[in-house]
Amino acid sequence: MSRKTEAQPSVDETAEVFDMTIDEIAQHAEIPASTVRLYQNKGLLPPPERRGRVGYYGAGHRDRLRLISHLQDRGFSLAAVKEALDSWNAGRSLDHLLGISDVAPSLGREPLRLSPLELTQRFEGVDLTQADIQKAAEVGLIEVDGAEIVVANEAFADIGPAVARLGIPVAEILDEYEALSTAVDQMADRFRDVFERHLWEPFVERGMPADEVATLTSEVGQLTELATSIVTTELHDRFAAFATNYLTQAQESST
């Protein structure tokens, strides 16, 4: 950032211009100057550029104030805004800032809370052992909260019993889930890298303007849908290929 003198602002067109006093930026943001100072003291707003005893603010400060207002309008407390901004600067917790739960509702759904009896009833007709329940907790599918079992992933309570009724032991289902979770993490990491390089980093380089958050939200949603579609299609094709192969062998063996 180019340093400016009081008499002559920088002529570097690529540098941010700091030309607003605290009263001016407060008036622009429609908040009291004391609120601007409060945000600075809490680490929500970067300090101004000092020229002598006067601090000057630029477009980045203005956009940050707009973002703070946006987050507060969505119900964030100042502490939550601080945490969100810190995460945003570190490239984390995009679901909070971008409203990904609106784009991908599965990320925002409430966990399923069941009594031990209700969980057992879900697996009616299936041999669900205490060891299976303990394994499910170890891989993060469930956790015990007092007298309730909290199911973080509804697949264990819905899809799990359906798979088990095909004759696959619950213990093996849990082993496969653990392996699948690792594979999904790897796939998600690759898509995250694509997102960071082509969407997030350019956004950061533009100063993370608040008026582009909605556009970025839409792009995240599109990438989520495309990635999910690709993975689903590829997995379906792999299943179809090996199923066809086994059926072909069975027919050949019977002739």
Q: What is the per-residue DSSP string for 89-100?
A: HTT--HHHHHTH
Q: How confident is residue 209, by pLDDT bands cut at 50, 70 and 90?
A: confident
> Quick one: pLDDT at residue 37?
93
Using CA atoms, how far apart are residues 121 and 128, in angstroms rounded to an integer? Answer: 10
pTM of the model as a whole: 0.52
> Quick one: pLDDT at residue 87?
65
When pLDDT is averaged across residues 3-17 and rounded to a whole number, the result is 46
Q: How confident is residue 226, by pLDDT bands cut at 50, 70 and 90?
A: confident
When pLDDT is averaged across residues 4-19 and rounded to a whole number, the result is 51
> Quick one: pLDDT at residue 120?
85
Element (H, E) at 150: strand 148-151
Q: Would you say the C-alpha torsion 63, 69, 75, 80 has a positive or negative sign?
A: positive
Instruction: Estimate the crossing angle of helix 130-138 against helix 170-195, to 10 degrees.
Output: 10
When pLDDT is averaged across residues 11-21 and rounded to a whole number, the result is 66
Single out the residue of 199, 198, 205, 201 nearest to residue 60, CA to CA.
205
- Architecture of domain 18-90 in this structure: Orthogonal Bundle (1.10)
The CA–CA distances, whole Å, from 242 to 54, 82, 211, 246 equal: 72, 51, 49, 6
> Quick one: pLDDT at residue 40?
92
- 160: number of Cβ within 10 Å: 25
Q: Would you say the C-alpha torsion 162, 163, 166, 169 has a positive or negative sign?
A: negative
> Quick one: pLDDT at residue 95?
52
Residues 6+ positions from 243 with CB-CB distance below 8 Å: none
> Quick one: pLDDT at residue 229?
85
Using CA atoms, how far apart are residues 216 and 200, in angstroms rounded to an integer? Answer: 8
Q: How does pLDDT run across 101-111, given as a tens digit for each residue?
A: 444 444 445 67
| Class of residue 239 by CB neighbours under 10 A (exposed 0-12, middle 13-18, buried 19+) | exposed
Least confident of 17-26, 79-88, 207-216: 79-88
**Token pair for 128:** 């669900």
- 188: number of Cβ within 10 Å: 12
> Quick one: pLDDT at residue 4?
40
Residues 6+ positions from 175 with CB-CB distance below 8 Å: none
Q: How does pLDDT run across 33-72, given as a tens digit for each residue?
A: 999 999 999 888 989 999 998 999 998 898 888 888 877 7
Least confident of 50-59, 75-84, 104-113, 149-158: 104-113
Indicate where the chain has its CATH 1.10.1660.10 domain(s). 18-90
> Quick one: pLDDT at residue 88?
61
When pLDDT is averaged across residues 188-207 and rounded to a whole number, the result is 87
Tell me which amino acid residue 104 is. Answer: A
